[in-house]
Amino acid sequence: MHPSLPLKPLAHCLQSTGIFLLLLFVLGSCGAGLYLGKGDKRFQEEQYERAIEFYKQALGKEGNSGEVNYKIAEAYRLSNRLAQAEPFYKAALDNNFRKEEAYFHYGMALKANSKYEAALGQMQDYARIGSNPRLKGLAQKEVEVLSQLSMILKKNSGFALQNLEVLNTEGSEFAPYVLNNELIFSSTRGPGKEYLGNGEGFLNIFATTLGDSATMGGAVRQLEGVNVEGIHDAMATFTDEGNTMVFARGNEGTKKGRQNVDLYVSFYRSNAWTEPKLLNINDPRAWDSSPAISPDGKTLYFASDRKGGLGGNDIYKSAIDDNGRFLAPENLGPDINTPGNESYVYVGPDGTLYVASDGLPGLGGMDLFRIEDGKPVNMGTPVNSSGDDFGIFFQDDYSGYLSSNREGGKGGDDIYAISKSRRKLVNFFVDGTVYQRRDKDKQQTVVPNITVVLQNEQGQKLAEAKADAEGKFSFPLDSASAYSLLSEKEGFFAARQRITTVGKMPPQNQLPNDVNEVRLTANLVLNEIVKEKAIVLENIFYDFDKANIRPDAAAELDKLVEILVDNPRISIELSSHTDSRGVDIYNQDLSQRRAQSAVNYIISKGIDRSRITAKGYGESRPVVRNAKTEEQHQRNRRTEFKVVRVQE
C-alpha cells in the first residue's frame, strides 16, 4: 500500500503543471519522485532495507529504471546480500545505466550465485576496459581466481555439514562458541527492535545447552547482563576458564553508528557478568570487531578497518600481559591481510589460526582459510560455498561449527554443525612445467606465463591454468581418473601428456594425516615446427610384402592423428621407405601403397584429406647407406612425416 502524499508536494505538482487533465500523470510522477527521495534518504542513513522498499515502489514510475535498479542492487550489496543484488545490477545495465562500478559489482554478484563462467566473462571485460585503478586491479585478480577455481572446488576438506534447523531462525545466527556444555552464538532473532540496515532484529548474544542437532535449540536464552536494546551485541570469545568475555558492541543503526562498533570486556563475578567496559585498544574512528582469544589466553585477535591497514578489514593481534592488560595492536601483515576484507578470526585448540576473507582466492563472498606456515590456505568444499562462510569453531579435531548464508539455509546466516570422518582423505594434484625446444638448441628452456589446459579422457576441457614465471602449473585431480594436459604456442607442436590417478591411492595405514596430498608430476615439451624436416614414426610395421595396417601400427598412427588434431593449422606429407633388398621399382610401388594405406587410416579418423599427402620413396632415401645387418635394414624400413605447410 502506498503512503498518502503530503500536502506540499501535491500542491507543487498542481501548480507546476496547471493542467488538470494531466493530474493522474503528475500524481504518479510525483509519487515516484517521493519514493525515490525517501529511498535516497534511507540509503544515506544506511537504512538499506527501508531504502530498498522505497526504491522498489519507485520502479516503473519514472524513466530512470536503470538508476533505480542500480540503487536497489547497491543497497543489497552494502547490507551483505550480494547474491540478491544480481538481478538488479543486470536490470540496471540492461536499461543503459552506465556507471562503471556496476559492471564490476555485477560480476561479483554473479560469482556469489555460483555463476562462475558468466562472472569470469564479466571480470575479463572490466579488467580490459575499466578505468578505476582499484576495481581494475581487483577484477584482474578475480580473473586469475576464476580461471583456477577448479583447484578450490576439487579440494575436499573432509568435513560434512548439517544445518542446525531447530536452532536457526528466519533471522541470522552465527559466531558459534562452545563454553561449559553450552553453545554461545549471536542472533537477530526477536522479540526486539528492528535494525533498518537489513530488516532483521538487532544482534544479541544467546546460549543454549549442547545436544544433538535434532534437539539443540529447545531452550535458548539471552546472555544475562550483556545485551542492550537497540544496539548490536555479538561475537563473544572467552578466556580464564570462561570467566572473561570479550565481545563486539555498537552500531545503533545510523550512519555514524558504523564507526562506533568497539570491543568490550566483561567478567563473571558472583554468578553474573559485570558491566561491560570499553577496551583500550579500540580506535574511535574505526570499526573494531570479531574478537578471538588464543587458547593460552595470551593473545587477542580481532578485525579492524583502522587507518594504516592494507585495505578493508584487517586482522590484528594484541598481547595480553600477566595483569590482563591489552597491549598495542599489531597488524598481521600482507601474508594474511589483503586489500579486501579479513574478519571472523578464530584460534583452534591447537593454536592454528583461521580467518574469513573475501580478498583471497575463494568461491564467492567470504571463504574460510586455515593459516599454514604463515600463509592462508583455502579450506575447500564443503566448508566453503559461493556464499559467505565464516565464524568457524572446533570442539575437537573432528567436529565443530561454522556460520554461512549459503543457498538452502533457513535464514540470513545459519549455524552448521561440521564433522569429519576418521577415514583419512587423499587429494590428488598434478604439478607440471612447460618447456620448449628449438630445433638447433641442445637444451630445452622453460616457457613462462603460458596457458595449460586439463582435459578428461574424452578430450573435454575441465580447467585451464596459466604457468608462472618459471613455467610451473598445478591442477587438482580426482581419484581413479585419467586426464590429458595440453599446451600450445605458435611455431611449435602442441605439447600433450597423459596423467592418471588410477591405482595411485595409498593404503590407509600409509597415510600420515587426516587429509593428505598425492602430487604427480608432468613435463610438457613444445617442439619447434621445422618445415620439411622428417620425423620418424616409431614401431610402424607391416607384414612381409603387405601394405595393410596392422593393429600395432594403428596404435602408433593414432598418435599422429592426435598431433594433427592438436595442431589444426599444419599439413603434412606421410612417407614410407623400404630397405635396399628387392627390385627398385617394386620397392617404390610397395612403399607408395604402404604410405597411402597409412594416410587412408588417418583420414578415416576424421582428418581432412587435404591436410595429408602420401609419398612412397622406396629404397631411394636410406638412413643407413650400404646396410648389412638386420638392424640397419630395419632403420631404413621406416615411416616418417614432415610438415609441408603451416596455415597463417
Alpha-carbon span 648 to 644, nearest angstrom: 13
User: Is a pLDDT exceeding 50 seen at residue 20?
Assistant: no
Residue 7 confidence (pLDDT): 27
C-alpha cell at 417: 554443525
Residue 217 confidence (pLDDT): 61
- Edge to edge, the sheet with strand 639-646 lists 535-537, 639-646, 570-577, 612-618
In Å, what is the CA distance from 172 to each residue of 78, 81, 433? 17, 12, 47
Mean pLDDT, residues 172-192 taken together: 92
Alpha-carbon span 231 to 365, nearest angstrom: 26
| pLDDT band (50, 70, 90) for residue 6 | very low
Q: Which of 110, 212, 179, 154 is nearest to 481 (CA)?
A: 154
Contact yes or no for 48/79 (Cβ under 8 A):
yes
In this predicted model, what pLDDT tens digit does every residue of 258-278 receive, in sequence order? 457 999 999 999 999 999 999
C-alpha cell at 386: 559461493
Q: Which of 575, 578, 583 is nearest to 627 (CA)?
A: 578
Residue 3 confidence (pLDDT): 32
Rounded (10°) CA dihedral 400, 404, 406, 410: 90
Dmax (CA) of the chain: 114
Residue 115: DSSP 8-state: -
Least confident of 353-357, 547-551, 642-646: 547-551
Contact yes or no for 342/315 (Cβ under 8 A):
yes
Which is higher by pLDDT, 138 or 61?
Answer: 138
Residue 121 confidence (pLDDT): 92
User: Is a pLDDT exceeding 90 seen at residue 23?
Assistant: no
Alpha-carbon span 634 to 100, nearest angstrom: 69
Provide, rounded to the nearest whole percent, the portion of the chain with pLDDT above 90.
62
C-alpha cell at 232: 548490536
Which is higher by pLDDT, 169 or 217?
Answer: 169
Residue 62 confidence (pLDDT): 61
In this predicted model, what pLDDT tens digit does every residue of 416-450 receive, in sequence order? 999 987 788 899 999 999 999 999 888 999 999 99
Q: Which of 411, 145, 305 is nearest to 403 (CA)?
A: 411
| pLDDT band (50, 70, 90) for residue 151 | confident
Q: Which of 371, 368, 401 is nearest to 387 (CA)?
A: 368
Mean pLDDT, residues 390-395 taken together: 96
Q: At 388, which amino acid appears?
A: D
Mean pLDDT, residues 522-535 taken together: 94
For 55, the 3-state DSSP assignment is helix
Mean pLDDT, residues 605-631 taken together: 90
H/E segment holding residue 392: strand 389-394
Interior angle at CA 230, CA 226 and CA 235, nearest 5: 45
Q: Where are the alpha helices (DSSP H) in 418-488?
A: none
Positive/negative CA dihedral, 81, 84, 85, 86: positive
By DSSP bridging, strand 367-372 and strand 353-357 are antiparallel
pTM over 0.75: no
Contact yes or no for 311/302 (Cβ under 8 A):
no
User: Is a pLDDT exceeding 50 seen at residue 224?
Assistant: yes
Please tell me whether the peptide bond between 191 and the residue prior to it is cis, using omega within 30 degrees of 0: yes
H/E segment holding residue 100: helix 100-112
Contact yes or no for 448/470 (Cβ under 8 A):
yes
C-alpha cell at 455: 582435459
Contact yes or no for 91/72 (Cβ under 8 A):
no
Report for 25-34, 198-207, 291-300: range of highest mean pLDDT: 291-300
Length, in residues, of the chain: 648
In this predicted model, what pLDDT tens digit does every residue of 272-305 receive, in sequence order? 999 999 999 999 889 999 999 999 999 999 999 9
Alpha-carbon span 108 to 365, nearest angstrom: 8
Q: At 226, which amino acid appears?
A: V
CA 13, distance to chain mean position in Å, is 52
Mean pLDDT, residues 365-392 taken together: 93
For 230, the 3-state DSSP assignment is coil
Q: At 456, which amino acid appears?
A: N
| pLDDT band (50, 70, 90) for residue 532 | very high
Residue 152 confidence (pLDDT): 81
C-alpha cell at 32: 515516484
Please tell me whether the peptide bond between 349 and the residue prior to it is cis, using omega within 30 degrees of 0: no
Residue 175 confidence (pLDDT): 97
Alpha-carbon span 115 to 645, nearest angstrom: 42
| pLDDT band (50, 70, 90) for residue 31 | low
Q: At 70, which amino acid appears?
A: Y
Alpha-carbon span 317 to 271, nearest angstrom: 30
Domains in the chain and their CATH numbers? 7-153 (1.25.40.10), 159-422 (2.120.10.30), 426-527 (2.60.40.10), 535-646 (3.30.1330.60)
Average pLDDT across the chain, whole number = 88
Residues whose CB falls within 8 Å of the CB of residue 181, separated by 6 or more in sequence, listed in order? 209, 210
User: Is a pLDDT exceeding 90 seen at residue 397?
Assistant: no
Residue 404 confidence (pLDDT): 96
C-alpha cell at 481: 581418473
Residues whose CB falls within 8 Å of the CB of residue 84, separated by 6 or more in sequence, listed in order? 76
Residue 328: DSSP 8-state: P
Q: Which of 639, 634, 641 is nearest to 581 (CA)?
A: 634
Residue 215 confidence (pLDDT): 62
User: Is a pLDDT exceeding 60 seen at residue 516?
Assistant: yes
Provide, rounded to the nearest whole percent, the portion of the chain with pLDDT above 70.
92
In this structure, the number of other CB atoms found within 10 A of the CB of residue 531 comes to 10
Positive/negative CA dihedral, 580, 584, 588, 593: negative
Mean pLDDT, residues 566-579 taken together: 93
H/E segment holding residue 146: helix 133-147
User: Is a pLDDT exceeding 80 seen at residue 546?
Assistant: no
Q: What is the Cα gyration radius of the chain?
A: 34
In this structure, the number of other CB atoms found within 10 A of the CB of residue 220 comes to 18
Mean pLDDT, residues 582-607 taken together: 92
Contact yes or no for 276/265 (Cβ under 8 A):
yes
Contact yes or no for 540/557 (Cβ under 8 A):
yes
User: Is a pLDDT exceeding 80 seen at residue 85?
Assistant: yes
For 468, the 3-state DSSP assignment is coil
H/E segment holding residue 187: strand 182-187
| pLDDT band (50, 70, 90) for residue 634 | confident
Contact yes or no for 82/108 (Cβ under 8 A):
yes
